[in-house]
Structure 1
Amino acid sequence: MSKKASKSEKVRKAIIENYKKAEKSFVSQLNFTVPNHPPTIGGFREEIWKQLFEQIVPKKYVIEQSVFLIDSNENVSNEVDLAIFDEMYTPYIFRKGRIKFIPIEAVAAVVQCKSQNVEIDEDIKNIKKWCDSINNLNTSGDSITRLAQLMSVGPAKYQTGTRPIKILCSLQKPSKKLTKSFDIYIIANKKPPRIKIKIPHEDDWNLANWHGQLNMCGNSKTELKYPEVMYSRKLSDYQVIDEKGQLVSLLTLNLQLNQLLMLINNPMFFPHKAYADMFNRKGNGKEDKNDDGNTN
């Protein structure tokens, strides 16, 4: 082995070891306890999860705690522990201090953080309600945007209606009743101190399926023509295995999540008029007539 190859091998192994150490550090912090004040430790753990995502998510995205998502049909989500979203091209609907309403068109991923074991029926019911509040949000195609050489009216061909990647972060394996409620499950096991990743569709969805789910209103069987590699490649192909045959979880999560983010890549063209129409509605969200008889 040449000196150059030997040095490259050392760097490769060092990066893998650094990921393992970072993983153990995150797990250790997530398992800190404050028995006399659960809300304090809950907020602390959310901050640790946020730091984990900040370590692997590109800077083009912003990660905010405790926000609400909204669409132009007046649907509002339950409180989202962590939202990963575009802040460069999409405006906030409202922002003042810690109060933030973010349009669904901007959101790439949402994260629910749970400190306790998710096995109790009431907790499962509440999490499903949370997921439903996200699923009920709809992007609008009522946009007008300048592109390089033309004006685009309506959504882009490959991004007609996005939905965010749904992630559940917990300290213990969640109930099987939640198996398909989220796209990614991240579990911080105390013993041994390791992060486990579970992706229900890791082996059976290819990248074309994922693109259809995240960008085409959930149509995983879209008729769009993709490069051939997207039909053959799956998220399981992005797993990193160390020399002992163990999954390098944090590095794997980095590659898998960022591949999904690259399938979304840009936020939806923002539908300014749709939100103007929403705020101009009166009564129960129904169209009302002006004095001249025209509808709003």
Structure 2
Amino acid sequence: MSEVNKNKKLEPDMRTINEIIDNYVEMESSQVSQLLFKFKPHGTTIGGFREDIWSELFTQIVPKKFVVEQSVFIIDSKGHVSPEVDLAILDEMYTPYIFRKGRLKFIPIEAVAVAIECKSLSASYGSLETWTSTIKNMETSRQSIARINGNIVTGDTGDVPQTQTSTRPILIYCCLGDAHNTNMNLFDFTLQVDLESKKIKIHRNEGIDKLREWYYALNHNDTTVDESLKHDPKSKLDASIDDYQVKRIINNEETEVSLLSFTFQLNQLLMLINNPMWFPHKAYVDLFNKTNS
């Protein structure tokens, strides 16, 4: 390579960047068209069909290290079992299923990165409040043993500050229409199909904004853990999740490219969790041995 070519400054290919944005807009339009498909005599079938569409969406935007499972139950080592979760995003590389047979799946809380509830045109606030609070209150265990490079470590490292003491899933609500507006504050994100504009609107939980707040909410969910054990990221996480919005100008009006924004926002939060907690095999062994007493 000549010295001239080697030092040549590359120019951004904005045409391709704009085409990528266009494809996200087209993908959103296609998803909405499928989600609004109506076939009234078979409501249950249509509900399952819509779950499939949402599942395909999440499969497209999360890294391959994660899998998207439908119709699962989350379990913890204390014996708590969640209501049915429509979609769960989990890392199955290191964490076993507690039980899996056909469509019946019990997944340990330590493995679940995202829990998703899918509803059509209406939903009970009370049932959703129970759903979200049950999942938020499930308990991860640090009773783990694992080999890392050059050492054997345990999940409970005594008085050493940790970046992760107790995780919880990111909670996402997928729904159609504005009848769900009062339910949105129960979730971290809501993907709402607007029936008038035929677009997906992304609503973010206003109670959690800075990445620092997300870090503590997702990695230090257990309020009983001493604050001195929670690693302080200091000034590294001062950005707001709203800083990750992608916008474009159409007819002199600025609009958000919803799915592209959500792709960056969700994956940034997944990077904050990064890996599932080491699986506490002994804690689950103790749970199942309780049946003897």
Q: Distance in 1 between matches of 2:37 and 2:115?
A: 24
Task: Give 1:142's aligned residue.
Answer: 143
What SS does the corresponding residue of 2:201 show, helix, strand or coil?
strand
What SS does the corresponding residue of 2:185 show, helix, strand or coil?
coil
What SS does the corresponding residue of 1:170 show, helix, strand or coil?
strand
* Displacement of 1:282: 2.8
Percent of paired sites with the same residue: 47
* Displacement of 1:132: 2.3
CA contact (8 A) 2:74 2:82 kept: yes
- The more displaced of 175-184 and 145-154 is 175-184
Task: Give 1:205's aligned residue.
Answer: 209
CA deviations on 1:187-222 (whole Å, 9 max, x unpaired) are: 0123312110000237x5211111110011256x96
Instruction: Say whether residues 1:281 and 2:290 are aligned partners.
Output: yes
**Gaps in structure 1 of 5+ consecutive residues:** 289-296
CA change 1:253–1:57 in 2 (3 A) is: same
Letter in 1 for 2:262: L
Match of 1:54 among 51, 54, 59: 59
CA contact (8 A) 2:121 2:179 kept: no
Letter in 1 for 2:36: N
Match of 2:79 among 63, 66, 74: 74
Match of 1:95 among 93, 100, 104: 100
CA change 1:275–1:71 in 2 (3 A) is: same
* Displacement of 1:180: 2.7
Task: Give 1:241's aligned residue.
Answer: 247
Letter in 2 for 1:253: F
Instruction: Say whether residues 1:115 and 2:120 are aligned partners.
Output: yes
Letter in 2 for 1:259: Q
CA contact (8 A) 1:241 1:248 kept: yes
Q: TM-score, normalised by structure 2?
A: 0.88
CA contact (8 A) 1:27 1:190 kept: no
CA deviations on 1:114-149 (whole Å, 9 max, x unpaired) are: 01134xxxx111111211221231100100111112
Match of 2:221 among 217, 223, 229: 217
* Displacement of 1:176: 4.7
What SS does the corresponding residue of 1:111 show, helix, strand or coil?
strand
**Gaps in structure 2 of 5+ consecutive residues:** 1-9
Task: Give 2:20's aligned residue.
Answer: 15
Letter in 2 for 1:101: F
Q: Distance in 1 between matches of 2:137 and 2:259?
A: 31
Q: Distance in 2 between matches of 1:200 and 1:102?
A: 26
Match of 1:251 among 247, 257, 260: 260
Which ranges of 4 or more aligned residues in structure 1 deviate by more than 2 Å? Answer: 173-180, 221-225
* Displacement of 1:257: 0.4
What SS does the corresponding residue of 1:282 show, helix, strand or coil?
helix
Q: Distance in 1 between matches of 2:178 and 2:96?
A: 36
